[in-house]
Structure 1
Amino acid sequence: MVGTTVEWYDFFIYAFAANLVFQQLFFAPAGPEVGQLAALASIGLSFLFRPLGAFLAGHFGDRLGRRPMLVITLLLMGTATVAVGLLPTFETIGIAAPVLLILCRILQGISAGGEWGGAILMAVEHAPEGRRGLFGQFPQLGVPFGMLIASGVLAIMQAVTTDEQWLSWGWRVPFLGSIVLILVGFWVRRTVEESPVFEEMQSLKVRESAPIAVLFKTALPIVIFAALIFAGNNGVGYMITGGFVQGYASRPTDAPVPGLGFDGPAVQIAVLCAAAMWAIFTAVGGWLSDIIGRKNTYLIGYGVLAAATIPLFELVKQGPLMIGVAGCLLAIGLGLTYGPQAAWYAEAFPASVRFSGVSISYAIGAVIGGAFSPLIAQWIMNTFDGNTWAVIPYLLLLIVVAVFGTLMMKDRKDIPLTSQIEIDGTWQKIMDEPAKK
């Protein structure tokens, strides 16, 4: 949970800054509207590299262990984040500035693509039977906690700096401050024990030489459906976690890309409250899935998320207080469709290709869902003269896609997680022969 919090603090700081200042600092020559779209596109660009991170971490995580990948991805994310805080702007070094910014974002995407799978497997594969949903929600909590810290730091920096100071150096402080969190996360991840399931795989020599090839040969439909169940959560969630609502709410009404002109720190505090609610219902979702099953929890969660999506922007327009209300309503559905994900993904794949399976499914789902949802939402608003109602059908479509994936996925709650292969639709334990046989 600590390591995942650090990873996602770094990820969210970039998304929030892209909505607030990157158009002016890195993409200004493109013009206000195109520059804002370019800044939002840079958020989504990292998602395209998540599958690469998932492939690399999955391959080596299934062969070398879960723990080494956790340490490597944490350091990669941290290095890229601190580098963003040190970058000169377009005014200083010209076109090299956005090029270097995008390179840092790509490194963040590779890290995020590999980090999540290792984190959730370390939690779920240590869990006692019947409590995987509860244990699996801890690394999931790192995402709302990362957003909570990111929102809090940004609120403080916007409150203590003038507009000129904020654009000059204030936005850099949250990026540079990441180094403290990285040191803490590195220490924690270095001391955690390797997954008992991976240790059993080593002792029984149940390892695939090419786990990704085996995954696609034997479990491609599972990868697809698992990716779809995440698309709705990630796409709708990125209206807030991707910084779109914050940018829309706090940009001045007379800006080239107009917003609502609300007080920036007040907006960030409202989002902070939503992040706290997201954390609470992520924990509830993991716990509830141990009782009623992963699929049932997801279906309830997506029903709540759809209901909260419809009035989202109308509430946002009422001011920071109602932004907090809208975010908290959204957070209930987001939590219920995020808390059980670690356990459901882990139970969907056999041990020898599990790291690859969960990482690649998560990465593909993120590409389908959240990768470009802020960009698409802004493009829709530009096309329909700022009409936020035009964005709602797009978000509801993502939820429909996710519900389809949920209905197609098997619920294998409490299935053994030790070294297995699938035979006739059920996992069977392998005692002394490689899984490929």
Structure 2
Amino acid sequence: MRRVAIASFIGTAIEFYDFYIYGTAAALVLNDAFFPTLTPVNATLASFSTYAVAFAARPLGSVVFGHFGDRVGRKSVLVASLLMMGLSTAFVGLLPGYSTLGLWAPLLLVLLRFVQGIGLGGEWGGAALLAVEHAPRGRRGLYAAFPQLGPSVGFFAATGIFWLLSSALSDAAFRSWGWRVPFLLSFLLVGVGLFVRLKISETPVFARVMARQEASKVPTLDVLRRHWRELLLGAGGMIIAYGLFYTATTYCLAYTTKNLGIARSTMLGLSMVACLFLAAGTWLASTRSDGRGRRKVVLAGTGLSVVWGLVLFPLLDTERPVLIALAIGGALFCMGVVYGPMGAYLPELFGPRVRYSGASLAYNLGGVLGGAVSPLIATRLQPAWGSASVGWYVSAMAVVSLLCVLALPETRERELA
């Protein structure tokens, strides 16, 4: 179990590092590097649009990797998703900008981002199942906490390296070549992830499915036919987790540096502090869900998110570093309380024959609805209606997730086999 926990944790940490460095770069520099001919607002929108492309690709990754994960096995699919995600990320660091390739530069950027999204679409479901299907009943929330902590560590590492580069380099050097360094490091991280994952065994739950020759022929079709309610409600429950994260990190990073004039290095440092709140909320909620139930803990997180959405931007607009850290940290803590139990909750909603496809699709459809559009909508809302309107938007997403989770059953006592 220790090896499984480490493998699921390291894999998601690396993959989410890859995903988050793009979000940080999109907020800070990609608009200038790939869209220099647009106005500042439109360049930011274009940068965030390439960011959203990966979210659109993630459900496709869920279908592709989920199909083979439910038919061939969890382990082999996890290795393939790590390779696809890591290599596409590293190639972004090698991609020349608009000044060299012209229109081809943003087009190739979109293509690499799309491939990155497909890889991540297959990652989370396999990592969660790796932990949950190995864990004994009564401790699934605990073991699912390890892959759920991956985003916290990945975000901390991504923000930390950007903070170091931003502090050590001049602005011209950072915009010229410094921002590429975090992407190129992905070559090394992929090697580490492969070394760890190749040493784990297939989950006992899936091994029994294969032994009984019960694997689904078309898992995604079975999910849509027999589990559409769990799929839609599970996706709805994930909306606020994604919405909170990408509003509080990607959009707020752009908003505070460009609208409020706060130094880039200061905001990156505050984001690293706020990430500790995400890790704390994730671990606390994941482990507590074994005793109190997944549904109850997630409902508490969505309810808290409704309130925090209303105070997020008033705290940011004070321009005081301590209150900014509190604003972003509180948002990420709420996100962690919702996100943590989902590592066990979503897999428990589906049977073993379609679990990879069902859990992955629910997770990534929630990402499209909550993560892909949040920075885009926030960028449009703030100039027209003020920063408070973005907070109301966050609270509205929390209400939607709250209603969806209310319609779901408790799953803590379910058998996975």
The two structures have a TM-score, normalised by structure 1, of 0.92
The amino acid of 2:240's aligned partner reads G
Deviation for aligned residue 1:400: 0.8
Contact 1:281 1:335 in 2 (8 A): yes
The CA distance in 1 between the partners of 2:189 and 2:314, in whole Å, is 36
Q: Write the mapping of 1:229-378 to structure 2, written as runs, cut at 5 A.
A: 229-241=237-249, 243-251=250-258, 259-317=259-317, 318-378=319-379
Deviations 1:361-399 (A, max 9, x none): 111111111111001100111323xx1012122111111
Q: Does 1:31 align with 2:39?
A: yes
Is contact 1:305-1:332 (8 Å) kept?
A: no
Question: For residue 394 of structure 1, what is the aligned residue in structure 2?
Answer: 393
Secondary structure class of the residue paired with 1:409? coil
Aligned to 1:69: 77
* Distance in structure 2 (CA, Å) of the matches to 1:304 and 1:360: 26
Q: Following the alignment from structure 1 to structure 2, what is the Cα–Cα distance between the partners of residues 343 and 40? A: 31
Runs of at least 4 residues of structure 1 off by over 3 A?
A: none
SS in 2 for 1:221: helix
How far apart, CA to CA, are the structure 1 residues paired with 2:254 and 2:189?
A: 25
Q: Distance in 2 between matches of 1:58 and 1:309?
A: 34
How far is the alpha carbon of 1:332 from its aligned partner?
Answer: 2.0
| Residue 121 of structure 2 is aligned to residue 105 of structure 1 | no
Task: Tell me, yes or no, if the aligned pair for 1:7 and 1:74 is still in contact at 8 Å.
Answer: yes
For residues 248 and 53 of structure 2, the distance between their equivalents in structure 1, rounded to whole angstroms, comes to 18
Distance in 1 separating the partners of 2:407 and 2:87: 39
The separation in 1 between residues aligned to 2:295 and 2:383, in whole angstroms, is: 37
Q: For residues 84-116 of structure 1, what are the alpha-carbon distances to aligned partners after superposition, in whole Å with 9 as ceiling and x for unaligned?
A: 101111011100000011111101111111111
Whether the aligned pair in 1 keeps the contact of 2:248 and 2:332 (CA below 8 Å) is no
Q: Distance in 2 between matches of 1:329 and 1:412?
A: 28
d(CA) in 2 for partners of 1:47, 1:218: 25
Give the stretch that moved more between structures: 263-272 or 92-101. Answer: 263-272
Where do residues 73-88 of structure 1 align in structure 2 (5 Å cutoff)?
Answer: 73-88=81-96
CA–CA distance in structure 2, aligned partners of residues 194 and 176 of structure 1: 31
Question: What is the match of residue 433 of structure 1?
Answer: none
SS class of match (1:34): helix
SS in 1 for 2:414: coil
Alpha-carbon distance in 2 for matches of 1:305, 1:383:
24
Aligned equivalents of 1:162 and 1:212: distance in 2?
A: 50
Aligned to 1:28, what secondary structure does the other structure show?
Answer: coil
1: CA distance, partners of 2:34 / 2:275: 28
Counterpart code for 2:295:
K
Deviations 1:314-352 (A, max 9, x none): 222323332211122112211110110011111110000
Q: Answer yes or no: is the 8 Å Cα contact 1:250–1:261 preserved in 2.
A: yes
Give 1:166-185 correspondences, 5 Å limit. Answer: 166-185=174-193
Q: Secondary structure at the match of 2:371?
A: coil
CA distance in 1, matches of 2:315, 2:357: 40
1:19-69 residue CA offsets vs partner (Å, 9 max, x unmatched): 111111101112222111110111111111111000001100000000111
- Aligned equivalent of 2:208, options 200, 205, 211: 200
Contact 1:26 1:89 in 2 (8 A): yes
Q: Contact 2:26–2:48 (CA<8 Å) still a contact in 1?
A: yes
Deviation sequence 1:214-237 (CA, Å, 0-9, x none) = 111111111000000001111122
Q: Which protein has the bigger helix share?
A: 2
Cα deviations across residues 193-252 of structure 1 (Å, max 9, x unaligned)? 1111111111111111111111111111110000000011111221134x111111123x
Q: What runs of 5+ residues in structure 2 fail to find an aligned partner? A: 1-8
**Is the contact made by 2:308 and 2:395 (CA closer than 8 Å) also made in structure 1?**
no
SS in 2 for 1:239: helix
Residues 262 and 319 of structure 1 are in contact (CA less than 8 Å); yes or no, is this contact kept in structure 2? no
Q: Render the CA deviation track for 1:273-331: whole Å, top value 9, x for unaligned.
A: 11111111101111111111011001111122222221112222323332211122112
In structure 2, the partner of 1:417 is: 416
Equivalent residues of 2:13, 2:149 under 8 A apart: yes
2:291 partner letter:
I
Q: CA deviation at 1:136?
A: 0.7
Instruction: Look up the SS of the partner of 1:345 in the other structure.
Output: helix
Q: Distance in 2 between matches of 1:414 and 1:133?
A: 11
Secondary structure of the 1:150 match is helix
Equivalence for 1:429: none
Query: 2:25 maps to what in 1?
Result: 17
Q: Could you tell me whether the CA contact under 8 Å between 1:304 and 1:332 is conserved in 2?
A: no
The alpha carbon displacement at 1:125 in A equals: 0.4
1:31-70 paired onto structure 2 within 5 Å: 31-70=39-78
Query: Structure 1 unaligned runs (5+)?
Result: 252-258, 419-437
Q: CA RMSD in A?
A: 1.0
Compute the displacement of 1:16 (Å).
0.7
Q: Is the Cα–Cα contact under 8 Å of residues 248 and 331 in structure 2 kept in the other structure? A: no
Return the letter of the residue paired with 2:34: F
TM-score, with length taken from structure 2: 0.96
Q: 1:358 deviation in Å?
A: 0.3
- Is 1:187 the equivalent of 2:198? no
Counterpart-to-counterpart distance in 1, 2:327 and 2:267: 12
Partner Cα separation in structure 1 for residue 316 and residue 20 of structure 2: 20
The CA distance in 2 between the partners of 1:329 and 1:216, in whole Å, is 36
Which of 1 and 2 has greater Rg?
Answer: 1
Q: How many residue pairs were aligned?
A: 408
Cross-structure match for 1:211: 219
